[in-house]
């Protein structure tokens, strides 16, 4: 049986979260905070529905979706108000893992093939609320999409038996036995709807119930038992924590068996405090959570290495890493590409927030977007000319100029290197 996922859904109407497709009662005025709540409480993915009616509201919803994807770590599936290929592009560029086409609308059926060929079928999902749509469009759905989201009122067995495309079931039932039945279906990869989306739901506890029903839930599963580690007399094992993207060492702490098992179960780094003699989830009070990417053990099995997605600074002092006080030598690697790009980007951000007289960067910001775009065009032209010359040094020089001006544009438009890297990784 494949691992199953719990996927809350948020319906966005007028920049607020509402209850359901046809129930516009507001459940939250702060949609980003609601998304972060699901992210921090064990959701595996998030479905976002744009219920806007006008193009203006649609654009505002896209900006909101962009903010959500920057604030959370779990993937999003986004649908609603998709009429043309451009709408799919906007959702994907806003950070969605997949764009979801509503097959109750002929316009969605018409553009499925073209958006699949342009963006890749793995970036496209379809939503169904009647069996006929699947029956009539089965070949098209299987060839050009990678996921089906369908309403529970459809006959579950008929849907999963007619197609091999993985399904997410969106249901309004609150009956646990019915939810278990849905999750046990072979073709179902995830569960969404009213139960999963309710505020206050202990998702970890419900996953535990699912496990008791012999449903494998999406979670980390340790290949080794804690008893196989070599721990100290106090029952603790040291953990070195590293940023999974930059390989920067963030901190060092300790785990006992309970902390280790909670980390595996929750996906958030949990430690044992020797001073307070209690468990603590990193980020529980500050919001600076560490989401597990991988955990390995050294050759002697007496030290763990955790690679994490760090939210905010790792150190309680506000520094990015606890190891910020140099003693001997120089820690900064001037040739590390990511560090160099981040350093230049941060300097540009600082110039915008704290202008300095005579700064060329400030001059660009003061002149505005048209000046920035003009410079990018000029630098691109100079790069092309340099590439036609035999001296590679000219390319290095002009490429550096081009990248600098591109970063000014990124800062001006609120795009980070993390956004770029995530987009490239998705591609």
pLDDT 10s digits, 345-369: 989 998 999 898 889 999 999 999 9
A 10 A CB-CB count for 146 gives 17
| pLDDT band of 332, cuts 50, 70, 90 | low
The C-alpha atoms of residue 268 and residue 24 are separated, in whole angstroms, by 34
Q: CATH homologous superfamily for 5-212?
A: Aldolase class I (3.20.20.70)
DSSP letter (8 states) at residue 228: G
The C-alpha atoms of residue 242 and residue 240 are separated, in whole angstroms, by 7
Residue 163 has pLDDT above 80, yes or no: no
| pLDDT band of 373, cuts 50, 70, 90 | very high
How high is the pLDDT of residue 283?
Answer: 92
Q: What is the pLDDT of residues 256-314, one digit of tens each?
A: 999 999 998 888 899 999 999 999 999 989 989 998 989 999 999 999 999 998 888 89
> Which of helix, strand or coil describes residue 53?
coil
Q: CATH homologous superfamily for 337-426?
A: MazG-like (1.10.287.1080)
Beta strands 188-193 and 76-79, pairing class: unpaired
How high is the pLDDT of residue 222?
Answer: 80
Domain ranges of the chain: 5-212, 226-310, 337-426
The CATH number of 226-310 is 3.10.20.810
The C-alpha atoms of residue 95 and residue 104 are separated, in whole angstroms, by 25
Give the percent of the chain with pLDDT over 90: 56
Average pLDDT over residues 127-146: 82
How high is the pLDDT of residue 253?
Answer: 97
Residue 326 has pLDDT above 90, yes or no: no
Query: Please, are residues 268 and 282 in contact by the beta-carbon 8 Å criterion?
Result: yes
Q: Which two tokens stand for residue 208?
A: 């535990």
Residue 328 has pLDDT above 60, yes or no: yes
Residue 126 has pLDDT above 70, yes or no: yes
Q: Is 392 left (phi over 0), alpha (psi -120 to 50) or beta?
A: alpha
> pTM for this one?
0.68
| pLDDT band of 5, cuts 50, 70, 90 | very high
Q: What is the pLDDT of residues 383-410, one digit of tens each?
A: 999 999 888 888 998 999 999 999 999 9
Q: For residues 393 and 380, which has the higher predicted lDDT (pLDDT)?
A: 380
> Which of helix, strand or coil describes residue 115?
helix
Query: Please, are residues 250 and 308 in contact by the beta-carbon 8 Å criterion?
Result: yes
Q: What is the pLDDT of residues 62-95, one digit of tens each?
A: 999 999 998 888 899 999 989 999 999 999 989 8
The C-alpha atoms of residue 203 and residue 74 are separated, in whole angstroms, by 14
Q: What is the pLDDT of residues 92-116, one digit of tens each?
A: 989 899 999 998 888 889 999 999 9
């Amino acid at each position: 049986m494949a691992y199953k996922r719990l996927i809350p859904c948020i319906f966005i109407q007028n920049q607020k979260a509402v209850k359901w497709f046809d129930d516009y009662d507001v459940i939250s005025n702060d949609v980003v905070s609601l998304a972060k709540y699901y992210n921090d409480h064990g959701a595996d993915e998030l479905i976002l529905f744009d219920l806007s009616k006008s193009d203006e509201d649609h654009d505002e919803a896209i900006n909101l979706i962009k903010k959500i994807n920057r604030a959370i770590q779990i993937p999003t599936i986004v649908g609603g108000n998709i009429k043309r290929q451009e709408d799919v592009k906007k959702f994907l560029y806003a950070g969605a893992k997949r764009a979801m086409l509503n097959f109750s609308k002929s316009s969605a059926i018409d553009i499925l093939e073209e958006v699949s060929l342009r963006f890749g079928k793995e970036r496209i999902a379809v939503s169904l609320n009647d069996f006929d749509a699947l029956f009539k469009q089965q070949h098209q759905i299987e060839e050009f999409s990678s996921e089906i989201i369908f309403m529970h009122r459809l006959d579950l067995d008929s849907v999963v038996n007619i197609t091999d495309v993985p399904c997410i079931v969106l249901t309004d039932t609150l009956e646990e036995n019915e939810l278990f039945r849905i999750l046990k279906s072979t073709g179902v990869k995830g569960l969404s709807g009213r139960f999963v989306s309710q505020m206050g739901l202990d998702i970890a506890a419900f996953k535990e119930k699912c496990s008791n029903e012999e449903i494998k839930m999406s979670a980390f599963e340790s290949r080794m038992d804690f008893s196989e580690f070599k721990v100290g007399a106090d029952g603790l094992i040291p953990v070195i924590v590293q940023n999974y993207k930059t390989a920067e060492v963030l901190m060092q702490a300790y785990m006992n068996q309970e902390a280790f098992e909670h980390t595996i179960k929750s996906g958030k780094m949990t430690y044992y405090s020797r001073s307070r003699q209690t468990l603590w989830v990193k980020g529980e009070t500050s919001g600076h959570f560490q989401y597990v990417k991988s955990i390995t053990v050294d050759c002697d099995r007496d030290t763990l290495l955790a690679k994490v997605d760090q939210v905010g600074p790792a150190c309680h002092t506000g520094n990015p890493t606890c190891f910020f006080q140099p003693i001997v030598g120089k820690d900064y690697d001037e040739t590390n590409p990511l560090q160099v790009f981040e350093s230049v980007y941060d300097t540009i951000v600082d110039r915008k927030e704290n202008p300095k007289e005579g700064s060329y960067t400030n001059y660009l910001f003061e002149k505005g977007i048209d000046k920035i775009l003009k410079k990018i065009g000029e630098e691109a032209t100079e790069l092309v000319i340099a590439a036609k010359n035999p001296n590679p040094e000219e390319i290095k020089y002009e490429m550096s100029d081009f990248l600098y001006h591109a970063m000014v544009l990124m800062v001006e438009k609120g795009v980070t290197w993390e956004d770029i890297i995530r987009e490239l990784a998705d591609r």
